[in-house]
Amino acid sequence: MLSIIIPTYNEQDFLPYLLKSIRAQDYKDYEIIVADANSEDRTRQVARDYGARVVDGGLPAAGRNRGAQAAKGEKFLFLDADVYLPGKDFLSKTIFEFDSRALDLATCYLEPISDKKVDILFHRFYNQYAKNLRFVTPHAPGFCIFVRRHVHEAIDGFNESIKLAEDHDYSKRARKFGQFGFLESAKIPVSVRRFDRDGRANIAIKYALCELHMFTIGGVKNDIFKYRFGYDTKEKTNYDNKRDI
């Protein structure tokens, strides 16, 4: 069984797109666990309406860990609430590749839910950058991580003391216990709402500084980058234009 684990906070507007795309999959051997950080909106009810199990979460690292603790599967797929699975065969293709290549940790290349050239170029750059570094330090963003249970448990899950890039710390530690790879069979569409909220130049600088911090000092354990979990407003336009559910 595949356990799909989604940390949330006030995601009543985006979560239905993801859950609908999961329900549309032709691969059916899965469970959905939503680890919610005490949302103030209808996130929990939305999750239950789509058949997900809801557990108490926290910040993303804590939410993923709480979800994994409740999971029944031997394979985990960590997703964020503002992504979705494109096409009905996303899970069947990626799980087949994950198993046939005997991978223990994997992610997909990214595709922005945006028609803006700057967003497309940014994500192409990231894909190539992450691919080039895969043998040096694995980059598996938290919004799409496939991992086997025994690897997750071997590293005691995500480090909850890390404030930013806890997913890359997780990938780096997990790599020591198994084979890492990028799945070639499908891309994962990702939201650009953080770009819209914080500004593309600010995000690029923040990511570059965070990467430098990871390489030189290690995980970011203070709030120097002012990370905020959750959103106050709905930015839906790009979903309406590009979703394939």
Long-range interactions of 38-46: CB distance < 8 A, separation 24+: 38/9, 39/8, 39/9, 39/10, 39/11, 39/12, 40/10, 41/10, 41/11, 41/12, 42/12, 43/8, 43/9, 43/10, 43/11, 43/12, 43/15, 46/11, 46/12, 46/15, 46/16, 46/19
What does the pLDDT read at residue 225?
47
pLDDT digit string (tens) for the chain, length 245 residues: 999 999 999 999 999 999 999 999 999 999 999 999 999 999 999 999 999 999 999 999 999 999 999 999 999 999 999 999 999 999 999 999 999 999 999 999 999 999 999 999 999 999 999 999 888 888 899 999 999 999 999 999 999 998 778 998 999 999 999 999 999 999 999 999 988 887 887 777 777 776 676 666 666 666 644 555 565 545 444 555 445 54
- CATH superfamily membership of 2-242: Spore Coat Polysaccharide Biosynthesis Protein SpsA; Chain A (3.90.550.10)
What does the pLDDT read at residue 153?
98
Is 78 in contact with 13 (CB distance < 8 Å)?
no
| Domain edges within the chain | 2-242
- Virtual torsion, Cα 90, 92, 94, 95, nearest 10 deg: 150
Pair of tokens at residue 23:
């329900």
Nearest to 86 by CA among 6, 189, 183: 189
Is 165 in contact with 219 (CB distance < 8 Å)?
yes
Distance CA 190, CA 225 (A): 21
- pTM of structure: 0.88
What does the pLDDT read at residue 237?
44
